[in-house]
């Protein structure tokens, strides 16, 4: 509830000065074919994430289906718009089996997210290296400055993190159940070392981030006016959007709109209202894509599940006869 209120406040500050007549007029002039293309790249990115996640699960459960991982991820993404950052927990429930406990599944997700955070950090360094004079001030003032500017606030976060770590250590040594959970998470985290197709994993990771940049560039191309933004600029905007997604508000609403529009205004002098149009096209088109693909995946899983149950029952009966 708290983060929903935060999202509403951010949306208010983002849209409070928007002139809706002009906003709608610009939307009508947009090239909507590029917006649809951005949604297609978003859907492909979701499929890639499901396939890449499966590669981490296979060393723990070789029988996990590709479709199960893809559908579980798409359904969880849809739920994430209701409960912020619930995606990682919900999708684990879809792949949990006798071989793959829930704790191990969580470990694979933590490993996958670690890869993505690492890539995002490397991309931040890349955009700074490519255009230091243009981007460094924005990161220093609007990102690091806002996070680290309030020393008291930052100190509280550090204290809370230390208390949480200390609590986990105490629980680990006093509870057998907690030790089992931590061991399962550890098994999931080290699954990459047991993975045979490491090259495929890296190629899928590359493909995923190519889809992300194309999702951004197609929205840039959809705008009726040419602002002269190139691939490096698109990479910068994508990185800013990635940073905004860290804020734990439902679906990134408000945080994404405000930060992206602020970046376009601060760096390129693009009016904040125009930046809001870009952010709205980018965010809401992907939201619609997530809802459509999530609903399709959920319907498919509901129709497929009875068939799977019958198949499993028949396999068990056949196995009994062979014995």
Sequence-ordered list of residues with C-beta below 8 angstroms from that of 43, at least 6 positions apart, any chain = 289, 293
Instruction: Please report, for residues 50, 92, 165, 209, the alpha-carbon distance to residue 251 in angstroms, rounded to integers and kept in the order given.
Output: 19, 19, 28, 19
Question: Average pLDDT for residues 135-164, to the nearest whole number?
Answer: 57
Alpha carbon 191 to its chain centroid, in Å, reads 21
Instruction: Decide: 85 and 248 in contact? Cβ < 8 Å.
Output: yes
Weakest-pLDDT range from 8-22, 126-140, 184-198, 262-276: 8-22
- Counting beta carbons within 10 angstroms of the beta carbon of residue 18, is it exposed (0 to 12), middle (13 to 18) or buried (19 or more)? middle
pLDDT at 47 over 70: yes
* HSE-CB for 107 with a 13 A CA cutoff: 22
Model confidence at 171, pLDDT cuts 50, 70, 90, reads low
Per-residue pLDDT tens for 75-116? 999 988 877 778 888 899 888 888 888 888 888 888 898 888
Of 51-65, 115-129, 183-197, where does the model show the most confidence?
Answer: 51-65
Instruction: Decide: 268 and 227 in contact? Cβ < 8 Å.
Output: yes
Q: What is the pLDDT of residue 168?
A: 56
Q: What is the pLDDT of residue 36?
A: 96
Q: What is the pLDDT of residue 57?
A: 92
Instruction: Please report, for residues 33, 97, 147, the alpha-carbon distance to residue 247 in angstroms, rounded to integers and kept in the order given.
Output: 30, 32, 12
Q: What is the pLDDT of residue 251?
A: 64
* Residue among 138, 70, 81 nearest 275 (CA): 138
Instruction: Please report, for residues 19, 47, 155, 205, 271, the alpha-carbon distance to residue 211 in angstroms, rounded to integers and kept in the order given.
Output: 32, 11, 37, 10, 27
* HSE-CB for 24 with a 13 A CA cutoff: 2
Per-residue pLDDT tens for 24-45? 887 888 899 999 999 999 999 9
């Amino acid at each position: 509830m708290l983060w929903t209120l935060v999202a509403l406040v951010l949306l208010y500050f983002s849209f409070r000065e928007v002139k809706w007549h002009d906003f709608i007029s610009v939307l009508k002039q947009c090239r909507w074919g590029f917006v649809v293309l951005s949604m297609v790249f978003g859907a492909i990115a979701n499929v890639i994430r499901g396939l890449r996640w499966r590669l981490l699960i296979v060393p723990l459960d070789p029988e996990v289906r590709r479709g199960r991982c893809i559908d579980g991820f798409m359904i969880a993404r849809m739920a994430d718009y209701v409960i912020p950052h619930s995606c990682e927990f919900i999708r684990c429930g879809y792949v949990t089996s006798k071989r793959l406990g829930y704790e191990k599944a969580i470990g694979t997700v933590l490993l996958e997210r670690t890869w993505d955070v690492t890539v995002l950090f490397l991309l931040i360094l890349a955009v700074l290296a490519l255009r230091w004079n243009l981007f460094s001030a924005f990161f220093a003032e609007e990102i690091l400055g806002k996070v680290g500017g309030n020393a008291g606030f930052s100190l509280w976060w550090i204290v809370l993190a230390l208390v949480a770590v200390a609590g986990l250590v105490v629980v680990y040594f006093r509870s057998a159940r907690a030790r089992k959970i931590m061991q399962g998470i550890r098994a999931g985290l080290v699954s990459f070392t047991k993975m045979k197709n490491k090259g495929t994993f890296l190629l899928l990771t590359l493909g995923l981030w190519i889809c992300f940049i194309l999702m951004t560039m197609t929205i840039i191309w959809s705008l009726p006016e040419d602002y002269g933004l190139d691939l490096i600029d698109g990479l910068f905007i994508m990185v800013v959007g990635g940073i905004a997604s860290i804020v734990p508000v439902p679906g990134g609403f408000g945080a994404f709109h405000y930060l992206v529009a602020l970046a376009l205004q601060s760096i390129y002098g693009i009016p904040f209202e125009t930046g809001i149009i870009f952010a709205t096209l980018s965010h809401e088109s992907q939201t619609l894509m997530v809802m459509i693909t999530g609903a399709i995946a959920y319907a498919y899983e509901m129709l497929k599940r009875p068939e799977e149950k019958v198949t499993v029952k028949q396999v068990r009966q056949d196995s009994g006869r062979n014995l």
